[in-house]
């Protein structure tokens, strides 16, 4: 290794996001949504069922859309599959009313859960992405997961998903390079700048106060000295005058 080069070891951010998505798919509601997707794909493996779905869409003047199948090697495809289910919800219900309201809710929640992760994946894989992009996107993903804690029926998922992300992120965070980025977090930088400015202002204020006090003290001392000198001069002058008068009086006698 060349001298002066810091041996940073950084895990692949894309791989970490992909593993998190894979882990989340084992949790409800994503596990339920995945099962719903599989069941619907089986139902529509029959050409006649696909024809009915197409006809239902044409009947309302909609452009016929097909169901999408997940691809194991493509991270965003399952998200697109769930999106397509939601888009075809009304038409699918007309053909296969077996899907319950709770199952549809699971599919819709899964789309909401996965969207920030798909955006993060797309952001990190860009050519102009940086290590800071990874840190920033992980923060966004974690915030999106924690937000589900307040959504009815999603509190258990939120807690479990935070643990999943924590386990993956802790491995990503082991990198010295990623750790060093905490010191350039925009929030931290802003806080540091504000603190420095406040300290400078306080120090400047203190210095100004001290200078003013010193100046006032010096002025007072000077004034006192001048007054004392004037008093001494006046007293000396008075003594001299009295002495002259006395001497003149004696000589006149």
Q: What is the pLDDT of residues 161-211, one digit of tens each?
A: 999 888 877 665 555 555 555 555 566 666 777 787 788 777 777 777 788
Reported as half-sphere exposure (CB side, CA atoms, 13 A), residue 107 has a value of 24
* Apex 145 CA angle, 143 and 146, nearest 5: 65
pTM over 0.85: no
Q: What is the pLDDT of residues 62-91, one digit of tens each?
A: 999 999 999 877 878 999 999 999 999 999
Q: What is the pLDDT of residue 6?
A: 41
CB count within 10 Å of CB 153 equals: 13
Rounded distance between C-alpha atoms, residue 66 and residue 88, angstroms:
9
């Amino acid at each position: 290794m060349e001298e002066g080069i810091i041996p940073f070891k950084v895990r692949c951010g894309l791989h970490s996001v992909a593993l998190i998505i894979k882990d989340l798919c084992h949790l409800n509601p994503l596990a339920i949504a995945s099962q719903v997707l599989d069941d619907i794909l089986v139902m529509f493996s029959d050409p006649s069922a696909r024809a009915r779905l197409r006809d239902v869409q044409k009947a309302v003047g909609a452009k016929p859309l097909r169901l999408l199948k997940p691809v194991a090697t493509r991270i965003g495809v399952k998200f697109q599959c769930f999106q397509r289910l939601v888009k075809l919800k009304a038409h699918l219900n007309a053909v296969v009313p077996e899907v319950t309201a709770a199952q549809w809710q699971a599919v819709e929640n899964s789309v909401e859960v996965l969207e920030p992760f798909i955006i993060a994946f797309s952001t990190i894989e860009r050519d102009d992405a940086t290590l800071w992009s990874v840190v920033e996107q992980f923060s966004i993903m974690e915030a999106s997961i924690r937000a589900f804690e307040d959504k009815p029926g999603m509190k258990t998922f939120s807690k479990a998903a935070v643990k999943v992300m924590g386990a993956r992120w802790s491995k990503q965070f082991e990198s010295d390079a990623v750790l060093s980025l905490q010191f350039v977090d925009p929030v931290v930088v802003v806080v540091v700048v504000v603190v420095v400015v406040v300290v400078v202002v306080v120090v400047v204020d203190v210095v100004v106060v001290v200078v003013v006090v010193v100046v006032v003290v010096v002025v007072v001392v000077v004034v006192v000295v001048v007054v004392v000198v004037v008093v001494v001069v006046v007293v000396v002058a008075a003594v001299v005058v009295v002495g002259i008068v006395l001497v003149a009086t004696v000589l006149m006698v």
